[in-house]
């Protein structure tokens, strides 16, 4: 299978020879933010929908790691294609290096605009300590996304709260390019991966896009994390009690 670079630079988006983004496609991405919700959601979607790998991102500060998954070598930043719903997924197994995040995100936003995606769906987590009421997620749309907002039935992020990191930067770059994009943020636990929050994200995406990404694996992972967390708390509580006696 041959691949060709879309441009010659220290930042390259390398796509399979002959692949072209179809008109009306959706770009989907999530980074390692709070609860790792964005990454967990995007990575699970590509697996659950059996999306096809169609490219990679290469840069000067590419993480010096590769791994294996289902018998195949996987790289730090991979692109996948789900033809049935015309979705392109960017799966970042690491955060872009802090020294090149500005340029990295800028060039990614350029590529999204150049390929005329109908919208960008950017996934992330929101600190659960800010949750009020029964809502389990918030959204941050660009101005160009306003006419599509009603399909989500998700409240906009409250004033005074901030989105941070690469997701925030990508939203800003797409806003400046007048691109339709929405940041979806589910409430998540700070300090550890939160697959339950990612499952909530996927259930909403299933509903809006009419896909069938099974979330049971994420829920099982969540139950295991909660079990281990209760065990840790029990051990710590026992240790504190024993410290009271000599």
Q: Domain limits of the chain?
A: 3-215
138: alpha, beta or left? (left if phi > 0; alpha if psi -120 to 50): beta
Please measure the distance between the N-terminal and C-terminal CA atoms of the chain and give it in whole angstroms: 69
Q: How many CB atoms neighbour CB 6 within 10 A? A: 13
Q: Mean pLDDT in the chain?
A: 87
Asked whether 120 and 173 are in contact (CB, 8 A), the reply is: no
Residue with structure tokens 């906009």? 156
Please give the model's pTM, rounded to 2 decimal places: 0.87
Please write the tens of the pLDDT for every residue from 139-197: 999 999 999 999 999 999 999 888 999 999 999 999 999 999 999 999 998 888 888 88
Q: Which of 217, 227, 229, 222 is nearest to 43 (CA)?
A: 217
What is the second-level CATH architecture of the domain 3-215? 3-Layer(aba) Sandwich (3.40)
> Within its chain, how far is the Cα of 236 from the centroid?
33
Q: What is the pLDDT of residues 66-93, one digit of tens each?
A: 889 888 999 999 999 999 999 999 999 9
């Amino acid at each position: 299978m041959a691949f060709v670079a879309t441009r010659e630079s220290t930042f390259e988006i390398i796509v399979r020879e002959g692949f072209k983004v179809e008109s009306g496609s959706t770009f989907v991405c999530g980074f390692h933010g709070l609860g790792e919700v964005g990454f967990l959601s995007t990575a699970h979607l590509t697996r659950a929908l059996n999306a096809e790998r169609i490219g990679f991102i290469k840069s000067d500060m590419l993480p010096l790691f590769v791994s294996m998954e289902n018998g195949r070598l996987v790289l730090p930043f991979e692109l996948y294609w789900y033809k049935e719903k015309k979705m392109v997924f960017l799966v970042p197994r690491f955060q872009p290096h802090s020294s090149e995040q500005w340029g990295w995100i800028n060039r990614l936003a350029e590529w999204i605009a150049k390929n005329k995606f109908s919208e960008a769906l950017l996934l992330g987590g929101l600190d659960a300590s800010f949750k009020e009421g029964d809502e389990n997620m918030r959204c941050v749309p660009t101005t160009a996304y306003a006419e599509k907002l009603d399909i989500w039935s998700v409240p906009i992020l409250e004033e005074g709260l901030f989105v941070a990191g690469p997701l925030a930067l990508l939203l800003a770059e797409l806003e400046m390019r007048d691109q339709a994009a929405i940041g979806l943020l589910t409430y998540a636990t700070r300090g550890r991966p939160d697959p339950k929050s990612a499952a909530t994200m996927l259930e909403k995406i299933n509903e809006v896009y009419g896909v069938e990404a099974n979330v049971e694996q994420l829920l099982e992972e969540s139950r295991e994390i909660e079990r281990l967390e209760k065990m840790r708390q029990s051990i710590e509580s026992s240790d504190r009690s024993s410290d009271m006696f000599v």
